[in-house]
Amino acid sequence: MFFENTLLDLVARGFILAAIGIFWVVVLIRLNGLRSLSKMTNFDFIMTIALGSLLATAAGADTWEVFGQSLAAQAALFFVQWSTAQLRQSSDTVETAMQNAPIFLMRDGEFCEDALEETRVAKSDVIAKLREANALELSKVRAVVLETTGDVSVLHGDRIDERLIENIRTA
């Protein structure tokens, strides 16, 4: 692609194509906004993985066609993410269809056994999250929630504002 010398070409290609690819991703993120690499939904998570894969493809491309297709596919990912975000904002039906609802794993100091079974989360995993959140007493844990992203949120203290737990389902 760049040089006749195979070794020199391999090194140059790796550096130059990776730099161009990263620059392209930064441009796309600036155009699409800060939400581009968030982990707000399962769709966002897939976007991040796919973007990384396409960036690796661009950096290792051995033809200009592969490189160009990778950059185009990256732009397409951002367009699809932007489009779905617009649809999700404008339609509760689309929102519901595209993303799982968060679910209680623990509520008011008690484990939600059905939810643990349904989500295949072990009590020991919940307890580890409680330790990470500096929860000192199970009785003070207001809620442990498996979020739409797969993250676990721990809400603990003397009381909880009900707005924080609206739209969280129980098993």
97-130 pLDDT, tens digit each = 877 889 999 999 999 999 999 999 999 999 999 9
Report whether pLDDT(81) > 80: yes
Q: What letter does residue 56 receive in the DSSP assignment?
A: H
pLDDT value for 93: 86
Report whether pLDDT(13) > 90: no
With a pLDDT cut of 90, the percent of the chain lying above it is 60
pLDDT value for 150: 84
pLDDT, mean of residues 21-41: 86
